[in-house]
Structure 1
Amino acid sequence: MGVLEILKERGFVEAVTHDEELSAYLDGGRATCYIGFDPTASSLHVGSLVCIMALAHMQRNGHRPIGLVGGGTGLIGDPSGKTEMRKVITQKEVDVNRAGIRKQLARFIDFNEDKALLLDNGEWLKGLEYIPFLRDIGRHFSVNRMIKAESYKMRINSDEGLTFIEFNYMLLQAYDFMELSQRYDCLLQMGGSDQWGNIVAGIDLVRRTQQKKAFGITFPLITTSSGIKMGKTHKGAVWLDPERTPPYEYYQFWVNCDDADVARFMALFTFLPMEEIEQVKKMEGAMLNSAKAVLAWEATVIAHGMDAAKASYEAACAMFGAPEIPDTCFSSSTIPRSAKGGADAVPGTAYDRAALDKGIAAVDIFAEVGLCKSKSDARRLLNQGGGYLNDERIAAFDQLILTSHATDGEILLRAGKKKYHKLILK
């Protein structure tokens, strides 16, 4: 099966250009493809995983992926999918963010020996001269056609409107495609569904300036079965940077997905064979919970490595018990079929004994250690009976947490059913 068919089978593809010709191009030998990443943060998040996993599938099938960091376009901001203008960032921020993005992408794709490339479009965009750019590139673009693109229509119809800076974004992204085609023989651009207009513009520019046939693939916007944008939680984004989202929390994000999403997420966010994933559609109850553990394990191994996944798995087993996974299920998964159990990966905070000798209100600690976003959230949770101290429900938001609550120097707090945090007394 060719890589395009693999991506379609696993649910990655929303639209393609020149379907049969693209399939023939990918089947004809090593191809080079790219996806752009906005350097507005030092970490990518779970919402970026569809694009990242698509690049990984490309590489696994013999092709060369390029991650293009928008060091040039990031200084302007892509209006696609946005109803307001993006915050302008500095070159220093771009440099820091690019380094963070490379580190995360390296977990998914192999950059050794030019098997994959991480490039920065600032290399060619920041030296452009305005008049030559208008003469050589701008003449190929129709304003009438541009304003019909969804990425522009959303901004034009917003209260803030579309700035002239943002209006240039389509030209610059198309120019990226042209440059990558010239420099690296890259003839396939991939991206989210909101990038369709930009991708098509790039294909047209490559055809006009280089007389080459280029291609595009777009991916659907992934939402949970309850309609929430992928990677969004009550705490905000789920980051790939372990400093922002610890591996245990990352693992728990996947364990806590809706039953209806398990098979779909396995197809998108793991490399397990589809014939094993198909089994999930018939599972329910305890077996479906075990499938969630497999999803969490595989996703965490890919993003954070085997050691982090093992620590997270054992911590989860210590809290909730080990999942029962028959040897006949998910035979390709490396998940342990038995667990020692250990709570070392549960997030913890070193806490001063002297402070707890006097006692601290539960509402203050829950907000301080991140079990709740704020004191008002903590008060609401505790008043509703959703806070626990050593697995006993906290009676009131101002209940004092004391040194005497510690066992072996630790106090276990819980928000809701599955969100734990340790206070480690010092």
Structure 2
Amino acid sequence: MNDILDELRWRGLIAQSTDLSALAEALSTGPVTYYAGFDPTGPSLHHGHLVQLMLLRHLQNAGHRAIALVGGATGMIGDPRMSGERTLNTKEVVAEWTERLHAQISRFLDFEGENPAQMVNNLDWTAPLSAIDFLRDVGKHYRLGTMLAKDTVARRLNSDEGISFTEFSYQILQGMDFLELHRRYGCTLQTGGNDQWGNLLSGVDLVHKADGVSVHALTTPLITKSDGTKFGKTEGGAVWLAPDLMSPYAFFQFWLNTADADVVDYLKVFTFLDRDTIIELAEQVESDPAVRKARTAQRTLAREVTTVVHGAEATERVEAASAALFGGGDADALRHLDAGTLADAVAEVPRGQITIGETTIVDALVAAGLEKGRNAARRVVGDGGAYLNNEKVTDTDRVIGDDDLLAGDVALVRRGRRSLAVVTG
């Protein structure tokens, strides 16, 4: 347990702490009960939450006692944003999202064994609390000056829209969580992203004022790209951890596309690979052009993160699909892909409509937009640059039939090595 802070620091997982030396002493003298909260303000966790989940597991692996809190109560309000008031979701929607987050978090922590994690919902102690009790027992410990000085609150107060009393009260509710977990489970550490520092301090101050005990807060840095652009945004939005919002294939490809300048930092933050392995990959990225060209570090990152989030079986399917489509795989490899994985893998490639049993490879190339006209398509086929389901086609009269259809009733046509499209009947 003595080395856990050094490990977290090396991985770049420490930004701010209330008292790092005191926390180090607490971690070294015995198991510390700690928690992080996840609000169901959306139907899934995303890449930002993944940083906290990795931190929670590192601490649990070091022998400390993890609590994952899903905010069934705070999720009905939402942490104030810089951009303006949130739209409140219905209780039914928040309850549904709470269950989805429960299921996602359960993949990351060990809830069995000698040191099991716990899952809690702050609605359990917030819902029974009357407004009078809330104001008398909790609200009396808060001072408006401190609450108003919080960065988000100050900015919103100076905006045209202002801030509602509902969102203004969020920091009290989050602080109350720390107090409740301290009283119920002896929790003495809360972790969160660096943008949550003010809310974490709210809980630290409340526990000190209400129970006269000093507790700890620790934040992780907000992950950025080396070029200064925001990390974790795709054309489809956030990098969701739920497979129905972002397929495992698309998730894998996101990490595979990591820049050389970022991949080592992401290996430290988002994987459980040991230090020696990461250092070796870092040296290879720095000095070995073959490794950079093969994107070995990126492929390792994508494989590790996808396995953590979606499981080893999903990762194997994704890698098989990637190899079959772009790694020079043969037709047999394509036919072993299931319909869902294949559909995810070709979700963003061009598509064309054909008539099965009548359309030739020439017309399929045109229908899929891989060539502008039949004459150009004929030349591609004649020159050996046309492929149907990874098999070279040199006969311009080759008709695409039922036997050519893969799982999901699609066929793949290709011009050259990289220009791929899907055709359907």
TM-score interval (norm. to shorter): 0.7 to 0.9
- In the alignment, the residues of structure 2 paired with residue 423 and residue 277 of structure 1 have an alpha-carbon distance, to the nearest angstrom, of 42
Partner of 2:180: 179
Cα deviation code 1:170-216 (max 9, x no counterpart): 11111110000001111101111111111112111111111222100
How far residue 98 of structure 1 moved from its aligned partner, in angstroms, is 1.4
Partner of 1:49: 50
The AA in structure 2 aligned to 1:8 is R
**3-state secondary structure, aligned to 1:112:** coil
Map 1:44-193 to 2 at 5 A.
44-79=45-80, 81-112=81-112, 115-193=116-194
The AA in structure 2 aligned to 1:103 is A
- In the alignment, the residues of structure 1 paired with residue 315 and residue 24 of structure 2 have an alpha-carbon distance, to the nearest angstrom, of 36
Q: Does 1:408 align with 2:404?
A: yes
- Show structure 1 runs of 5+ residues with no match: 323-339, 367-388, 393-402
Partner of 2:253: 252
**3-state secondary structure, aligned to 1:245:** coil
When structure 1 is superposed on structure 2, of 165-174 and 141-150 the one drifting more is: 141-150
How far residue 224 of structure 1 moved from its aligned partner, in angstroms, is 2.2
Partner of 2:320: 314
Map 1:254-333 to 2 at 5 A.
254-282=255-283, 283=285, 284-288=288-292, 289-321=295-327
Contact 1:36 1:68 survives alignment (8 Å): yes
Cα deviation code 1:374-400 (max 9, x no counterpart): xxxxxxxxxxxxxxx9789xxxxxxxx
**3-state secondary structure, aligned to 1:272:** coil
Cα deviation code 1:271-305 (max 9, x no counterpart): 01122212333325331301111111111111111
- In the alignment, the residues of structure 2 paired with residue 111 and residue 310 of structure 1 have an alpha-carbon distance, to the nearest angstrom, of 25
**3-state secondary structure, aligned to 1:118:** strand
**3-state secondary structure, aligned to 2:188:** strand
Larger Rg: 2
- In the alignment, the residues of structure 1 paired with residue 353 and residue 167 of structure 2 have an alpha-carbon distance, to the nearest angstrom, of 51
- In the alignment, the residues of structure 1 paired with residue 268 and residue 38 of structure 2 have an alpha-carbon distance, to the nearest angstrom, of 23
Map 1:364-383 to 2 at 5 A.
none
Partner of 1:384: none
**3-state secondary structure, aligned to 1:218:** strand
How far residue 315 of structure 1 moved from its aligned partner, in angstroms, is 2.0
When structure 1 is superposed on structure 2, of 221-230 and 27-36 the one drifting more is: 221-230
Map 1:357-396 to 2 at 5 A.
none
Cα deviation code 1:303-349 (max 9, x no counterpart): 11111111112222233439xxxxxxxxxxxxxxxxx9657233258
| Root-mean-square deviation over aligned CA pairs | 3.4
- In the alignment, the residues of structure 1 paired with residue 161 and residue 316 of structure 2 have an alpha-carbon distance, to the nearest angstrom, of 48
Contact 2:252 2:318 survives alignment (8 Å): yes
Map 1:321-360 to 2 at 5 A.
321=327, 344=337, 345-346=341-342, 347=344
**3-state secondary structure, aligned to 1:137:** helix
How far residue 82 of structure 1 moved from its aligned partner, in angstroms, is 3.1
- In the alignment, the residues of structure 1 paired with residue 157 and residue 366 of structure 2 have an alpha-carbon distance, to the nearest angstrom, of 45
Cα deviation code 1:257-283 (max 9, x no counterpart): 111111001001110112221233332
How far residue 352 of structure 1 moved from its aligned partner, in angstroms, is 8.2
- In the alignment, the residues of structure 1 paired with residue 266 and residue 237 of structure 2 have an alpha-carbon distance, to the nearest angstrom, of 19
Partner of 1:332: none
Partner of 2:394: none
Contact 2:104 2:242 survives alignment (8 Å): yes
- In the alignment, the residues of structure 1 paired with residue 54 and residue 123 of structure 2 have an alpha-carbon distance, to the nearest angstrom, of 25
- In the alignment, the residues of structure 2 paired with residue 119 and residue 390 of structure 1 have an alpha-carbon distance, to the nearest angstrom, of 57
- Show structure 2 runs of 5+ residues with no match: 370-384, 389-398
Partner of 2:380: none
How far residue 153 of structure 1 moved from its aligned partner, in angstroms, is 2.3
- In the alignment, the residues of structure 1 paired with residue 118 and residue 154 of structure 2 have an alpha-carbon distance, to the nearest angstrom, of 33
The AA in structure 2 aligned to 1:94 is V
- In the alignment, the residues of structure 2 paired with residue 167 and residue 189 of structure 1 have an alpha-carbon distance, to the nearest angstrom, of 21
Contact 1:247 1:308 survives alignment (8 Å): yes
Cα deviation code 1:26-46 (max 9, x no counterpart): 122222111111102221112
When structure 1 is superposed on structure 2, of 147-156 and 99-108 the one drifting more is: 147-156
Report the TM-score when normalising by structure 1: 0.79
- In the alignment, the residues of structure 2 paired with residue 219 and residue 175 of structure 1 have an alpha-carbon distance, to the nearest angstrom, of 21
Contact 2:352 2:367 survives alignment (8 Å): no
Q: Percent identity?
A: 38
How far residue 412 of structure 1 moved from its aligned partner, in angstroms, is 3.2
Matched positions, count: 375
- After the TM superposition, which segments of 4 or more aligned residues of structure 1 sit over 6 Å from their partners? 349-353, 355-366, 389-392, 417-421
**3-state secondary structure, aligned to 1:217:** strand
The AA in structure 2 aligned to 1:39 is P
How far residue 404 of structure 1 moved from its aligned partner, in angstroms, is 4.7
- In the alignment, the residues of structure 2 paired with residue 125 and residue 363 of structure 1 have an alpha-carbon distance, to the nearest angstrom, of 62
Contact 2:352 2:421 survives alignment (8 Å): no
Contact 1:188 1:216 survives alignment (8 Å): yes
- In the alignment, the residues of structure 1 paired with residue 421 and residue 301 of structure 2 have an alpha-carbon distance, to the nearest angstrom, of 23
How far residue 17 of structure 1 moved from its aligned partner, in angstroms, is 1.0
Report the TM-score when normalising by structure 2: 0.79
- In the alignment, the residues of structure 2 paired with residue 197 and residue 310 of structure 1 have an alpha-carbon distance, to the nearest angstrom, of 42
When structure 1 is superposed on structure 2, of 282-291 and 202-211 the one drifting more is: 282-291
Contact 1:69 1:119 survives alignment (8 Å): yes
Contact 1:262 1:280 survives alignment (8 Å): no
Change (3 A) 1:20 1:96: same
Contact 1:390 1:411 survives alignment (8 Å): no
How far residue 227 of structure 1 moved from its aligned partner, in angstroms, is 3.1
Change (3 A) 1:246 1:265: same
- In the alignment, the residues of structure 1 paired with residue 84 and residue 248 of structure 2 have an alpha-carbon distance, to the nearest angstrom, of 33
- In the alignment, the residues of structure 2 paired with residue 421 and residue 49 of structure 1 have an alpha-carbon distance, to the nearest angstrom, of 33
- In the alignment, the residues of structure 2 paired with residue 303 and residue 421 of structure 1 have an alpha-carbon distance, to the nearest angstrom, of 29
Contact 2:357 2:402 survives alignment (8 Å): no
